[in-house]
Amino acid sequence: MSGQRVDVKVVMLGKEYVGKTSLVERYVHDRFLVGPYQNTIGAAFVAKVMSVGDRTVTLGIWDTAGSERYEAMSRIYYRGAKAAIVCYALYQDLTDSSSFERAKFWVKELQNLEEGCQIYLCGTKSDLLEEDRRRRRVDFHDVQDYADNIKAQLFETSSKTGQSVDELFQKVAEDYVSVAAFQVMTEDKGVDLGQKANPYFYSCCHH
Ligand SMILES: Nc1nc2c(ncn2[C@@H]2O[C@H](COP(=O)(O)OP(=O)(O)OP(=O)(O)O)[C@@H](O)[C@H]2O)c(=O)[nH]1
């Protein structure tokens, strides 16, 4: 990886124990580590090269520590990120309680401070719901409404089974390629970038 350019800075955010490191492990190494939980200290970085059509895209993923002790540090890591994967646990036990509230906290921060950062909401540990659907604490439709409001994409993943993990990171890379193509198009044709807010311009770069 040395000397290779990172195209997309991606930051993982969310309360401790929601499964950020496990998502990255599943995506980058296709494995799920069992054993005692080890909280991330500070942050960890990993790069992954992937394909979108005939393009190669390098994601540079910052896995931040969820503990509130490291909150100030997480702010350093999301600076300049083009994508944020904001995680909350679908299945809430005592340790996971309020992870959705914490996700909303990060969303607010990003909205206020990182305008150019696309947000991906990620409900984690979906395999645990398979075992007992009554344990779902965050209603899918409520989160979908919230995601629509903040113009975020919503994924429900399991790092244990791999469910939707590749799809999540693939979407991050695809969106990057679409936005980059849109920028080239507008620069070439002299389109007013102020029109970016127009939904037509937004959707036309997704096809
Ligand atoms: N069943 C199940 N357990 C999971 C899943 N993802 C993570 N876990 C477990 O949840 C615990 C926390 O996972 P981590 O990935 O370390 O969580 P984190 O968000 O990186 O935690 P911090 O580093 O403290 O911020 C670990 O014991 C994992 O094995 C999942 O998809 N399914």
**124-138: pLDDT as tens digits:** 999 988 877 777 878
Token digits of residue 31: 């494995």
Domains of the chain: 5-192 (3.40.50.300)
- What distances in angstroms separate CA 193 from CA 40, 147, 202, one per listed residue? 39, 25, 11
Q: What is the pLDDT of residues 3-55, one digit of tens each?
A: 678 999 999 999 999 999 999 999 999 999 888 888 888 899 999 999 999 99
User: Which ipTM score applies to this complex?
Assistant: 0.99
pLDDT tens-digit series, residues 13-27: 999 999 999 999 999
170 CB within 6 A, ligand 1? no
* Cβ of 160 below 6 Å from ligand 1: yes
Q: Does residue 64 line the site of ligand 1, with CB under 6 A?
A: no
Q: Best mutation site among 11, 21, 86, 135 for ligand 1, i.e. most ligand atoms within 8 A of its Cβ?
A: 21
What one-letter code names the amino acid at 192?
D
Give the nearest ligand 1 atom to 34 CA: 29
Q: d(Cα 73, Cα 156) in Å, to the nearest integer? A: 27
Environment class of 148 (CB within 10 Å of its CB; exposed 0-12, middle 13-18, buried 19+) = exposed
Q: How much is the mean pLDDT over the chain?
A: 86
Residue with token string 């599943």: 26
**What is the C-alpha radius of gyration for the chain, rounded to an integer number of angstroms?**
17
Closest CA to 79 of 117, 130, 120: 117
